[in-house]
């Protein structure tokens, strides 16, 4: 919880002309320049931004979210020149990825030059940097004229916000303001790639897939290649439970019959059961509150919907949520990464 209670400001710019001269954007940028935390949309999820160079400003993010202090933040920038304000060097493979995917949903881990506040890097010698591809985010960052640290704008551990209302549900009274630019697009957080070693490593899957990256720089590794190493995480989403709805969430491998048998067992115990299902199977479940999060044949749609779907169960008074699994190809790797992080347990 924050020590200070805010009358959280709300700026709706969804249907306005968006650039750094927009009055709402200028007001939100001024708040960030004056060490306040402001939520804003990116093409992935809504972020909660503060001046990345000031410890006191960044601390307000951690207070509002209830976020663990050893979980680093991503620095958001408006242009390529700002990379050099926070990074010591830009390796060739990092430049190639920036050229290919920026602005966009890719975060690049680089060696820090020490300009970012220590609570941004969690005391590490590296810093994650991203140039978002959303008109509101780009306008706000341009107006701020400084690098902005921004994790997802939700209560820590809960599903990330894909609408301004999600942010308000979690953080009203805890942050200075929220810029509403409408629903986000990708729906899951950025792919995080560590470019500080000879071979790039995907630390967190996202909308930019392993296949996309390898088409640009050749073979890349994944964090699972190093799963026996115990290190402080270099990127968000690697260590703690994330993305969880209020009720326990059980991720279930298996077919419709397997899941229906579990629904029947819980139903007999008097439990009210929710099911997060694929479009193909949603109508086959009985004795449950069923919500479809998209087709197994369109994993980009699933990625776009999973957080909204998980959050929607909070309004259904369910005791337990069962979730189907999805293929791990392409963006499906990001979908399953988020579901596994959200799960109270995985049932095989």
Binding-site members are 44, 67, 71, 76, 126, 130, 150, 152, 160, 190, 204, 243
Give dist(CA 113, CA 188) in Å, integer: 29
What are 46's two structure tokens? 């809504």
Sign of the dihedral through C-alpha 289, 294, 296, 300: negative
Give binding residues for ATP as ranges. 67, 71, 126, 152, 160, 204, 243
SS3 labels along 284-316 = HCCCCEEEECCCCCCHHHHHHHHHHHHHHHHHC
Centroid of chain to Cα 347: 25
Residue 239 and residue 308: Cα distance in Å, rounded?
A: 23
> ω before 258 within 30° of 0 (cis)?
no
How far from 266 is each of 245, 259, 339, CA to CA, in Å?
A: 19, 11, 21
CB atoms within 10 A of CB 327: 14
Give the 3-state DSSP-derived string for 115-175, with helices as H, strands as E and coil as C.
CCCHHHHCCCCEEEEECCCCHHHHHHHHHHCCCEECCECCCCCCCCCCCHHHHHHHHCCCC
Inter-axis angle of helices 299-312 and 164-171, to 10 degrees?
A: 30
Contacts of 269 (CB under 8 A, 6+ apart): none
Residues sharing a CB contact under 8 Å with residue 331, sequence separation 6 or more, in sequence order: 188, 205, 206, 207, 209, 299, 300, 303
Q: Please give the span between the terminal C-alpha atoms of the chain, in angstroms, as a whole number.
A: 37
Binding residue numbers for L-threonine: 44, 76, 130, 150, 190
Q: Which of 2, 303, 25 is nearest to 180 (CA)?
A: 25
Other CB atoms within 10 Å distance of the CB of residue 263:
22
């Amino acid at each position: 919880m924050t020590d200070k209670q805010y009358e959280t400001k709300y700026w709706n710019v969804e249907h306005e002309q968006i650039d750094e001269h927009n009055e709402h954007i200028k007001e939100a940028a001024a708040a960030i320049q004056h060490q306040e935390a402001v939520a804003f949309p990116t093409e992935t999820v809504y972020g909660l931004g503060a001046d990345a160079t000031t410890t006191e400003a960044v601390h307000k993010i951690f207070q509002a979210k209830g976020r663990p202090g050893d979980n680093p933040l991503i620095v958001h920038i408006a242009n390529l020149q700002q990379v050099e304000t926070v990074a010591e060097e830009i390796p060739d493979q990092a430049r190639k990825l920036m050229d290919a995917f920026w602005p966009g949903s890719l975060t690049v881990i680089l060696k820090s030059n020490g300009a970012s506040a220590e609570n941004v890097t969690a005391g590490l010698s590296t810093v994650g940097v991203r140039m978002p591809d959303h008109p509101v985010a780009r306008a706000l960052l341009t107006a701020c004229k400084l690098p902005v640290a921004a994790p997802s704008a939700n209560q820590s551990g809960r599903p990330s916000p894909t609408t301004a209302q999600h942010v308000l549900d979690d953080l009203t009274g805890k942050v200075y303001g929220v810029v509403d630019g409408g629903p986000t697009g990708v729906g899951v957080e950025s792919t995080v790639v560590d470019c500080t070693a000879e071979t790039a490593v995907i630390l967190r899957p996202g909308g930019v897939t392993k296949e996309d990256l390898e088409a640009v720089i050749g073979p890349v590794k994944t964090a699972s290649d190093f799963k026996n190493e115990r290190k402080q995480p270099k990127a968000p989403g690697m260590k703690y439970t994330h993305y969880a709805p209020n009720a326990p969430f059980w991720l279930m491998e298996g077919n419709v019959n397997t899941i229906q048998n579990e629904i029947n067992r819980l139903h007999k115990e008097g439990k009210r059961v929710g099911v997060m299902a694929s479009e193909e199977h949603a109508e086959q479940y009985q004795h449950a509150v069923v919500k479809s999060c998209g087709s197994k044949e369109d994993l980009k749609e699933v990625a776009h919907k999973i957080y909204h779907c998980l959050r929607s169960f909070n309004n259904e008074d369910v005791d337990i949520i069962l979730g189907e699994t999805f293929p791990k190809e392409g963006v499906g790797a990001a979908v399953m990464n988020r579901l596994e992080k959200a799960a109270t347990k995985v049932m095989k």
